Structures are given as structure tokens and as C-alpha cells.
Amino acid sequence: MRPSLTRRSFVKATSAGLAGIGFLATGARSLYAAATGKANVLALKGGTPVRGKPFSQTWPLVDEREEAALLKALKSRNWCCIRGNAVYDFQKVFAEAMGVPHCFLTNGGTTALSASLSVLDVGPGDEVITTPNTFIATINTITNLHALPVFVDVDPDTGSIDADRIEAALTEHTKAILPVHLAGWPVDIEKIMALAQKHKIAVVEDACQSVYAQVNGKKVGTFGRTGCISFQEYKSLVCGEGGAILGRDDEFMRRCGAFVNNGRDPQRRERGYPFPGSNHRMTEFQAAVLAAQFTRFKDQAPLRYENGRYVEEALAKIPGLTPRKRYGGDTRPTFVQFEMDYDRSAFQNVPATRFAEALRAENIPMRGGPRRYSGGCHKEKMLQEHLNSAAFQAAFSPARLEKYRQSLRFPVMDGEKPSRKETLSMDSKIPFLGSRKDMDEIIEAVQKVARNVDKLM
Ligand SMILES: Cc1ncc(COP(=O)(O)O)c(C=O)c1O
């Protein structure tokens, strides 16, 4: 863009040439100023970055609320929930916030999942249908019960379990379906629930990474027989380590509550230890921090969503950027992870990696690249260890184990059919807690890079 441009000719040129791209969203005036100065030169090429400094990386956020809550728990001398109040009080608060009658807190998302599967009586010889694209904890909860994780390939557009492939994976041994809502993005949960109801199979939702994501007004983790949440410190609602089991079924949840507390009846109808169990209890310290964090999270979650929607809507006006696929009608991700599809043909064939590199120079922490799924839990060595263990050898015939070993190939997950789609993504847990000005800077930076994409070749 020539600096000698007049304002009138600039507006005319951009209106005519770029109107469809939504470049005028931030105002022709600021664009004119940007285009005529160093501000329009990509930071990667020595120009001034759109944002003066990177987004903060400080997480978790802490203030006097956590300090006071911790001190109160400490001084109470009731550090275990059996005599304390913090765990039981927050169970009520969280159940109500999630829209379910029951919540039991645990010492982690892993133990919340384990308890759910144990109460479902998943055990040796059983199969649990799940996704290879998850954190290994999901799979550990199945294999530790000496059941087989039956993997279903992922949807190439999202990396979530492909709900249309689940029915073919059902067998007489299927005890549960364990879908995972990854990084704040709901899976096709309504389709999975309909299928599960048709076949009378329980669903345990792994919503560990997606607290407050919603589908048609219902929060994920509240569709299945149980839903499990993680409060581990990298998540969006945190207390160091912690988890929750959510559910609607009174009797099933009574058993879950008992399971995490060494079999004690949470309704205290029976003395002693009427149910099977273990100790998955959360401490009063964790619950004290969690309750304090929740006062902040209640405002953060809607803010993150609003900011995510705002940025997505503005960027969707740029030809070549498309919102990530959603399942179901009103699907609301948490936007702890921002993601848009990137079509390089609209950007003079510049790869998404290069586009994102230019954005990072503008102090916008985007990543770019082809949509591919590396790894996969089916390839982890631990799975072979389990299959070779005495417990698995006792629970499954050699023929069944061999058939299972042979089945561990998934074209999409393994990249045999690499998708040509690329994405731009951002860990937005912290950035989307920013102000409207911060969001406008993200938008402006993407527009700037799009405008100057020819300089990236
Ligand atoms: C998808 C998924 N499932 C389960 C877990 C286990 O949660 P936790 O670490 O709280 O045990 C995690 C934690 O990262 C996770 O990401």
C-alpha cells in the first residue's frame, strides 16, 4: 500500500476490493492509519505488532479469596471431607450449576471415570467403546478394570469420535460408550445418546476438558449415565487435582458416591459399608480452593464464550477462514481452545503454519498447520503391556486378543487418509478472558496478516 494514498482513495479501494472480506469491521479510519504507516507492515517483516505485548500466561489466577478459603479449611482442623463442609457444600453448588441432581467430588477426573465404570460393573471380558484421540487417562480407566478399550476412528473434521462408526463397533461384550469432549468442543453427544438408548448401553462422558460446554442448552457431562470433570490445574476450573462425577440416576449415583468413599452409603441409610468402594475422596483444602475458583469461573466461562464468538464471527468474514464444525443445533464450545478451518487457496497458497508464524510476531499466540492427529492411545506401549498381562490372558481367549491386536488400525487417526484441511488454533483459556480491545486486536492482527499474505510467500 503506497503511503501517498489519500484517505478518500484508500476507502474507495478497500471498499471495492475488500468489502466481502470484512476488512471494514474495525473501521476504515484505523485501517487507513494502519495502511499508511509502519503499522501495516507485518511485524515479521519489521513492522509494528498489532499488540504491544503478548497475552499473559499466568494460570491459575489466585487472590485473597483462595487464601481466606485455605486458611479457613486449615484452621477448621477438619481436613478430610468426612468431618468437613467444603466438599459437601461444593457438591451442591456444582450440581446445581451443571443442572443435575447429583454430584460427587473426587481427587481427580481419572478416579471419577474409574468410579463410574466400576459402578457400571465393567470388568474382565467386557468392552468399552471410546476414542483413540484422548489423554491416556481415559483409556487407563478401562484397561485397569481388565476390559478392552474398543477404539472407533475419529471424524476428520474435528478429531472427536465419529458417532456414525460406533454402531459397527458394538458387540455382545459392549458394556459402555465413553466419548470424550476434547478441549472444550462437544462430541456428537445427542447422536451417541440416541444410539446408546436404542441398544440399552450406558454412556459415561469424559468431559474432563470441557466444563461448561453446552449442546442445545444442556451442559456436556450431564447427558450420560454419568459425566466426569477434571479440576486438574491445566483445566479451566481448577484446584490442583480434583474431579467430579455428575448424574441424574438416584440409585446409580448413590453407588458412585459410595464408591469414592470406601463404600459408605452417601444417604447413610445403612450403617457400615454396604457398597463396593475405594478412596477417591477430595480433601477439604482442594474443595476450599475449588469453591473460591468457581466464584471467578462463573464469570470467566460466559466471557470466554462471548469473546470466542465475537472473534470467530469477525474472522469468518475473511474468505478462507471457516468456523470449526459443530454437531447438533446450538452447540457451544467453551473456547478454552479456539480453532478455525484455514483454506490456503484463499491465501495465495500460504500454509497455515506460516500464517500463524506471522500472527505470533503480532503477539497473537496462534498455531497453524494441517489437520492431522498424531499419536493415538491405541499405539501406546501400555496397551500391549495390558494385553500381555496375566489378568488379560485370564479374561480373554488368545483368539480374541489376537483379533483385537489386528483391529488397532484407524485410517483417519493414523493419517492413512491425511486431510488436506488446515487449521488456525490458539490456547485461548487466558486470551479470551481479555477485554473487547484485546479481541479487536486479535481480529485486526488476522486481518492484517490476511491483507499482507503475499509478503509471506
Ligand atoms: C480427556 C481427559 N480425560 C481424563 C483426564 C484425567 O483427569 P485428571 O488429571 O483430573 O485425573 C484428563 C486430564 O487431563 C483428560 O484430559
Output the pLDDT for position 35: 52
Nearby residues of 2 by Cβ (< 8 Å), 6 or more positions away: none
∠214-210-155 over CA atoms, to 5°?
Answer: 85
38 or 315: which leads in pLDDT: 315
Nearby residues of 200 by Cβ (< 8 Å), 6 or more positions away: none
Nearby residues of 49 by Cβ (< 8 Å), 6 or more positions away: 43, 361, 362, 363, 445
Output the pLDDT for position 36: 52
Statement: residue 12 has pLDDT above 50: no
φ/ψ of 246, rounded to 5, equals -115, 150
- Closest atom of ligand 1 to 182 CA is 1
The CA 226 to ligand 1 mean position distance, Å, reads 15
Output the pLDDT for position 417: 73
The answer to whether the CB of 264 falls within 8 A of the CB of 144 is: no
Output the pLDDT for position 418: 67
What secondary structure does DSSP assign to 19-33, as a single string?
GGGTGGGG-HHHHHH
For residue range 184-241, what is the model confidence (pLDDT) as tens digits?
999 999 999 999 999 999 999 999 999 999 999 999 999 999 999 999 999 999 999 9
For residue range 63-100, what is the model confidence (pLDDT) as tens digits?
999 999 999 999 999 999 999 999 999 999 999 999 99
For residue range 14-51, what is the model confidence (pLDDT) as tens digits?
333 333 344 444 444 455 445 556 779 999 999 999 99
Cell 465475537, located at residue: 310
- If residue 15 lies in a helix (H) or strand (E), which one and from where to where? helix 7-18
Statement: residue 13 has pLDDT above 70: no
The CA 230 to ligand 1 mean position distance, Å, reads 6
∠83-89-90 over CA atoms, to 5°?
Answer: 120
- Closest atom of ligand 1 to 112 CA is 11
Output the pLDDT for position 25: 43
- The arithmetic mean of pLDDT across residues 254-260, rounded, is 98
Supply the mean pLDDT for the chain: 92
Q: What percent of the chain has pLDDT over 90?
A: 86
The CA 243 to ligand 1 mean position distance, Å, reads 9
Best residue among 114, 116, 228, 230 to mutate for probing ligand 1, ranked by most atoms within 8 Å of CB: 230
Q: How many CB atoms lie within 10 A of CB 378?
A: 19
- Closest atom of ligand 1 to 110 CA is 11
User: Which of 12-21, 110-119, 325-334 bottoms out in mean pLDDT, i.e. has the lowest?
Assistant: 12-21
Output the pLDDT for position 270: 74
388 or 420: which leads in pLDDT: 388
The CA 244 to ligand 1 mean position distance, Å, reads 11
Under DSSP, is residue 129 helix (H, G, I), strand (E, B) or coil? strand
Sign of CA dihedral 453, 6, 39, 14: negative
DSSP secondary structure letter of residue 236: S
Output the pLDDT for position 18: 39
- Closest atom of ligand 1 to 241 CA is 10
C-alpha span between 141 and 408 (Å, rounded): 19
User: Residues near ligand 1 with C-beta < 6 Å?
Assistant: 108-110, 134-135, 137-138, 180, 206, 208-209, 230, 232, 243
Q: Locate 139 and state its grid cell.
A: 483409556
DSSP secondary structure letter of residue 324: P
Best residue among 111, 116, 117, 135 to mutate for probing ligand 1, ranked by most atoms within 8 Å of CB: 135
Output the pLDDT for position 337: 97
C-alpha span between 14 and 18 (Å, rounded): 5
Q: What percent of the chain has pLDDT over 70?
A: 91
Output the pLDDT for position 328: 83
374 or 231: which leads in pLDDT: 231
Statement: residue 56 has pLDDT above 80: yes
Distances (CA, A) of 341 to 338, 352, 425, 442: 11, 9, 9, 16
Statement: residue 299 has pLDDT above 50: yes
- The arithmetic mean of pLDDT across residues 237-250, rounded, is 98
φ/ψ of 250, rounded to 5, equals -55, -50
Under DSSP, is residue 174 helix (H, G, I), strand (E, B) or coil? strand
**Residue type at position 425:** S
- Closest atom of ligand 1 to 206 CA is 3
The CA 109 to ligand 1 mean position distance, Å, reads 5
State the number of CA atoms in the 13 A half-sphere of 246 facing the CB.
Answer: 28
The CA 135 to ligand 1 mean position distance, Å, reads 7
Could you tell me the domains of the chain? Answer: 7-57+297-372+417-456 (3.90.1150.10), 64-294 (3.40.640.10)
The CA 185 to ligand 1 mean position distance, Å, reads 15
The CA 241 to ligand 1 mean position distance, Å, reads 10
Output the pLDDT for position 14: 38
